């Protein structure tokens, strides 16, 4: 009983982690896409 319950909890945690990880990666990619022009502009401005 305890072992199967622990396994279910572990599976749920892994599932949540994968979902959050995917959302974080897509958000991070979107953020980098929007940020890159700003960074390149600052870089060219500094030179």
The tokens for 29 are 């990619």
Of residues 21 and 47, which shows the higher confidence score?
Answer: 21
At residue 36, the pLDDT reads: 64
Q: How far apart are CA 42 and CA 46, in angstroms?
A: 6
Distance CA 27, CA 34 (A): 11
Looking at residue 44, its pLDDT comes to 66
What are the CA-CA distances from residue 42 to residues 12, 20, 30, 45 (Å)?
44, 32, 19, 5
Q: What is the pLDDT of residues 26-44, one digit of tens each?
A: 888 887 777 666 666 666 6
pTM for the model: 0.44
Mean pLDDT over all residues of the chain?
77
Token digits for 21? 């990880």
For the chain, the structural domain boundaries read: 1-47
């Amino acid at each position: 009983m305890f072992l199967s319950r622990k396994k279910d909890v572990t599976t749920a945690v892994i599932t949540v982690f994968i979902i959050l990880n995917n959302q974080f990666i897509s958000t991070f990619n979107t953020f980098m896409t929007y940020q890159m022009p700003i960074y390149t502009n600052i870089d060219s401005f500094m030179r």
